[in-house]
Each structure stands twice: as structure tokens, then as C-alpha cells.
Amino acid sequence: QVQLVESGGGVVQPGRSLRLSCAASGFTFSSYAMHWVRQAPGKGLEWVAFMSYDGDKKYYAVSVKGRLTISRDNSKNTLYLQMNSLRTEDTAVYYCARERIVGATVDCWGQGTLVTVSS
């Protein structure tokens, strides 16, 4: 079945970097666009970034543009989020999510990985 498994979260100091991974299985990863969405503790969902199936298109939320970078390796069925210059307000659970080929609905989510930015 479709599975998305995030990893790489942890506690990091402000200004430092972290890289999240999302391992996909159960579907043809290279055919699907992907997203990162985050949720700060006790808050709502915030869309973070999008990448097209081939990596050609990337879009970012204003709050993360220039600091977070989405990428993918279709040979490894893995999506990444490189997080630089981290701020306390980046503390959140980060979810990767799959976008349907037809209709563009985000239909499957991983279980999330927690990033805590704190000194």
C-alpha cells in the first residue's frame, strides 16, 4: 500500500541546519508531485513547499523561501527538505504528502517528523 515515511527531525539550535527525508513506497514515486506541510504545536496546517514529479517546478511559502529547499531523488524514491538558518518559529511537525496525478488533490500523508528549534 502507499506509504510515506519521514525522518530526520530532532532538536536543533537557531541558525543551524537540518535535512528531512521522506521515503515513498507502494506507488510510482517518479510520477507524482510532492509537498511538505508543517504544523506548529497546537496550531493549524501550513503548506511549506511543492515539487513537480520531475523536479522541474518548485514553489515555496513566503515564510520559508530562501531558507528551506525541497528536492527529490526519483532513483531512491525519496523527497527531501533541506532546512537552513532555522528559526524558533520553524518548530513543527513536518509532513510529506503526495499529490494526485489527475486533479492535483493531496491525497496521502506521512506520519510526520518533529523539528524543534531551540537554544
Partner 1 sequence: DIQMTQSPSTLSASVGDRVTITCRASQSISSWLAWYQQKSGKAPKLLIYKASNLESGVPSRFSGSGSGTEFTLTISSLQPDDFATYYCQQYSSYFRTFGQGTTVDIK
> Are 41 and 26 within 8 A, CB to CB?
no
**CA 90, 109, 26, 20: dihedral to nearest 10 degrees?**
0
Asked if residue 105 binds partner 1 (CB under 8 A), the reply is yes
Compute the C-alpha angle 115/80/23, nearest 5°: 95
Asked if residue 55 binds partner 1 (CB under 8 A), the reply is no
Asked if residue 95 binds partner 1 (CB under 8 A), the reply is yes
Q: Which is closer to partner 1, CB of 35 or CB of 72?
A: 35
Write out the three cell numbers for 88: 524558533
Site size toward partner 1 (CB under 8 A) is 22
**Structural element, H or E, at residue 115:** strand 113-117
Among 19, 57, 76, 87, binds partner 1 (CB under 8 A): 57
Query: How far from 99 is each of 11, 30, 35, 90, 108, CA to CA, in Å?
Result: 29, 12, 7, 23, 7
Cβ at position 32, least distance to partner 1 in Å: 14
Among 45, 88, 89, 118, binds partner 1 (CB under 8 A): 45
Which of the stretches 11-19, 21-29, 59-67, 73-81 binds partner 1 when contact is defined by CB under 8 A? 59-67
Question: Which residues contribute to the site for partner 1 (CB under 8 A)?
Answer: 35, 44-47, 50, 57, 59, 61-62, 95, 100, 103-112
